[in-house]
């Protein structure tokens, strides 16, 4: 281990404390936030790294010299990205590996196949707003299983490899949707309450932030974890939304063409905060916090009906510990 745990900047518990700021903006792209950073010899895993935000994260990390594994359900879909980066002068090697986060057999296989230290784990893959309640083979609601429980199993399975690295970072891609949906410990899989696609998505994204907070237990291993909201970007994440919903959001015209709104980001801009947390020296030793637009976000309460920031319920250390225990028991009982 190379990191002094006493040097770690603690999780965000005091909303009145000064927020961490950077010189970057919402319009900075992924490569710009680590311009000049040399990641040669570092190893990274990016889930869902074959397209969208994940692909831009892979591009930035590899361009800085990191060896990157694109963890995706369909490794063949990553082949164009692998070929592209093989032709980039100075880029680190990029590989593709099979990983289905909703299938814990697949997660276990990925973990068993990984050898040697892991410096960066970017929990990027996700699904959004499944129109009907869908369960995995383990009986888990699909969004919670994919967006959180699968990533939890991956992180805990790879914990020894991150500990071996000595100063590893975990990056959890959350969403502003977490603001309206605390984790429901009484009915996380919508067995009794009516299924709501957005409540299920938001809950899974609150769980992601709580994962970053709960990972403070690994601080003595030199591991830090932070979560982020990438902002509004048109990617494959919207694939489960019908045309009427996309038009209601104002991002599709009458002919079915996608029309990003002025405040939408490009995928490269959306991936910037992920890359900042994964590799910037500005985040050395920072753990258990939530960022958006390349800045640490302010903490807000449910009563504020906020449009941005991080909900207090997602930073609650007691909820984080309770969720960690819940997820651990769920994996043990499968």
Active site residues: 201
Cα angle at 116 between 114 and 117, to 5 degrees? 105
Phi, psi at 37, each rounded to 5°: -85, 130
Give the Cα separation of 72 and 70 in Å (integer): 6
Give the Cα separation of 45 and 221 in Å (integer): 19
CA torsion 270-163-149-138 (nearest 10°) is 140
């Amino acid at each position: 281990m190379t990191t002094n745990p006493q040097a770690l900047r603690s999780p965000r518990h005091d909303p009145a404390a000064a927020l961490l700021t950077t010189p970057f903006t919402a319009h900075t792209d992924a490569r710009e936030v680590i311009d000049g950073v040399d990641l040669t010899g570092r190893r990274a895993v990016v889930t869902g790294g074959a397209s969208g935000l994940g692909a831009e994260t892979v591009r930035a990390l590899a361009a800085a010299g990191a060896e990157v594994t694109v963890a995706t359900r369909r490794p063949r879909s990553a082949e164009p990205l692998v070929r592209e980066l093989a032709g980039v002068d100075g880029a680190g090697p990029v590989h593709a590996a099979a990983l289905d986060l909703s299938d814990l057999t697949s997660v276990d296989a990925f973990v068993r196949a990984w050898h040697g230290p892991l410096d960066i784990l970017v929990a990027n893959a996700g699904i959004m707003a499944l129109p009907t309640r869908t369960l995995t083979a383990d009986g888990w609601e699909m969004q919670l299983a994919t967006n959180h429980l699968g990533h939890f199993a991956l992180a805990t399975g790879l914990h020894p490899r991150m500990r071996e690295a000595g100063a590893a970072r975990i990056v959890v891609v959350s969403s502003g949707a977490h603001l309206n949906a605390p984790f429901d410990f009484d009915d996380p899989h919508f067995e009794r309450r009516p299924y709501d696609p957005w409540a299920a998505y938001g809950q899974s994204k609150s769980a992601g932030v709580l994962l970053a907070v709960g990972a403070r237990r690994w601080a003595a291993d030199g591991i830090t974890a932070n979560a982020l909201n990438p902002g509004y970007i048109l990617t494959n994440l919207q694939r489960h939304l019908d045309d009427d919903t996309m038009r209601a959001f104002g991002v599709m015209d009458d002919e079915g063409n996608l029309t990003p709104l002025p405040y939408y980001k490009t995928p490269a801009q959306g991936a910037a905060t992920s890359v900042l947390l994964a590799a910037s020296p500005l985040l050395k030793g920072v753990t258990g916090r939530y960022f958006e637009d390349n800045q640490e976000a302010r903490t807000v309460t449910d009563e504020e009906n906020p449009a941005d920031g991080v909900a207090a319920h997602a930073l609650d250390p007691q909820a984080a510990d309770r969720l960690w225990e819940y997820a651990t028991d769920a994996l043990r009982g499968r």
